[in-house]
Amino acid sequence: MRDSPSGENQSDFSEEFYREHAGQYAQVFNDPAYGVDRTFQLYDEQELLEALESYGLNLVEAEDPNQLGGIMYFTDPKPMEHCVFYVRKEK
């Protein structure tokens, strides 16, 4: 198992994180490749960043507009909206 930012094994971290920071919304979409509905728990990105900060992780901003960093949004072909960000553990 991978270690979480706080040094716990990943499953313990995931369960703890889910209990403390569970989102209030879910989105269901049909996956035609497998013929099933898939449900995704949705979270507020600011709540996630605050939770990650509590584990000593901070958002890494892009140094210029042509670099990846900060909070980035995209829509995949399903179409599902995504938010990704890059965080780094404080030293």
- Per-residue DSSP letters for 61-75? --SSTTS--SEEEEE
Rounded CA separation 31/37 (Å): 6
pLDDT band at 3 (very low <50, low <70, confident <90, very high): very low
The better pLDDT of the pair 62, 25 is held by 62
Rounded CA separation 81/83 (Å): 7
The residue-averaged pLDDT of 41-70 equals: 90
- Tell me the pTM: 0.58
Check whether the bond before 79 is cis (ω within 30° of 0).
Answer: yes
How does DSSP classify residue 24? S
